[in-house]
C-alpha cells in the first residue's frame, strides 16, 4: 500500500506528515506493507529540504527526515498511490480536480482525528506555529495508521 501526503510547497506540512507516518509505520514493523512519500501542488520550493521549522520540531521529537526533498505532484502519482492525503481543503480540491483514476482514495488528514475544531491543518509557513502543526499532523497520522490497519487487516 502506498500513501502520499500533499500540501502546497512540500516543505512544511506534508514532509512533516511523511516523516511522522514513516516513523509510525517503522515502529509498527509495517515497512514491508506501507510505503510513504510526500509532494506539493506548487513549484516554489522544488528540490529543497524541509523548512527549518519542520526540521526543528522533528528533531525535538526524535523523528528522522533524512533524504527528504521537495517535489511536485505528478500525474503518475495517481497511478502509483492508493491514498493521497491532503493537509487542507485547497490541496484536497487540487487533488480531486486532477484525479482521473477512480482507484485512488483522496482524503484530508484531519478526517482521521476525532473532536476536531478545524478540518484543515494551518500552514506554519504562514502562521509560524510549527508546534500546533506537529500536534495536528501527529494526531492525524496516528488515526490514519489505525484506519489503514483496520481497513486492510494489517498487523
CATH number at residue 16: 3.40.50.2300
The string of pLDDT tens digits covering residues 70-95 is 999 999 999 999 999 999 999 999 99
Tell me what the pLDDT averaged over the chain comes to. Answer: 95
Over range 99-104, report the average pLDDT: 76
User: What number is the average pLDDT over the span 114-123?
Assistant: 88
- State how far Cα 82 lies from the chain centre: 13
Identify any residues that bridge with 3 across adjacent strands, giving them in sequence order.
36, 83
Residue 101, pLDDT above cutoff 70? no
Residue 102 has pLDDT above 80, yes or no: no
pLDDT at res. 97? 87
Task: State residue 98's pLDDT score.
Answer: 79
Write the pLDDT tens digit of every residue in 30-72.
999 999 999 999 999 999 999 999 999 999 999 999 999 999 9
Q: For residue 18, what are the domain limits?
A: 2-151
pLDDT higher than 90, residue 150: yes
Q: What is the Cα 121 distance to its own chain's centre?
A: 11
Residue 2: pLDDT over 70: yes
Per-residue cell: 115? 473532536
Using CA atoms, how far apart are residues 70 and 153, in angstroms rounded to an integer?
Answer: 31
Q: Per the structure block, which three cell numbers stand in for 143?
A: 488515526
Average pLDDT estimate for 116-120: 84
Pairing between strand 35-40 and 83-86? unpaired
**Catalytic residue list:** 7, 13, 123
Sign of torsion over alpha carbons 48, 67, 55, 9: positive
Give the predicted TM-score (pTM) of the model.
0.96
Q: Would you say residue 28 has pLDDT above 70?
A: yes
Please give the tally of structural domains in the chain: 1
What are the Cα distances from residue 45, in Å, to 40, 41, 74, 105, 118? 9, 10, 15, 26, 26
Distances (CA, A) of 17 to 67, 100, 101: 15, 25, 24
- What is the per-residue pLDDT for 22? 98
Amino acid at each position: 500500500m502506498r500513501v502520499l501526503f500533499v500540501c502546497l510547497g512540500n516543505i512544511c506540512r506534508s514532509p512533516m506528515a511523511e516523516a511522522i507516518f514513516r516513523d509510525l509505520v517503522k515502529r509498527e514493523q509495517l515497512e514491508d506493507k506501507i510505503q510513504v512519500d510526500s509532494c506539493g501542488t506548487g513549484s516554489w520550493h522544488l528540490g529543497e529540504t524541509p523548512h527549518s521549522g519542520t526540521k526543528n520540531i522533528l528533531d525535538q521529537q526524535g523523528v528522522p527526515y533524512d533524504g527528504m526533498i521537495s517535489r511536485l505532484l505528478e500525474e503518475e502519482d495517481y497511478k502509483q498511490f492508493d491514498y493521497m492525503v491532503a493537509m487542507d481543503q485547497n490541496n484536497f480540491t487540487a487533488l480531486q480536480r486532477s484525479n482521473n483514476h477512480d482507484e485512488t482514495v483522496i482524503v484530508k488528514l484531519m478526517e482521521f482525528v476525532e473532536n476536531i475544531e478545524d478540518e484543515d491543518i494551518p500552514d506554519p509557513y504562514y502562521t509560524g506555529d510549527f508546534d500546533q502543526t506537529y500536534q495536528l499532523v501527529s494526531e492525524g497520522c496516528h488515526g490514519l495508521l489505525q484506519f489503514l490497519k483496520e481497513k486492510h487487516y494489517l498487523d
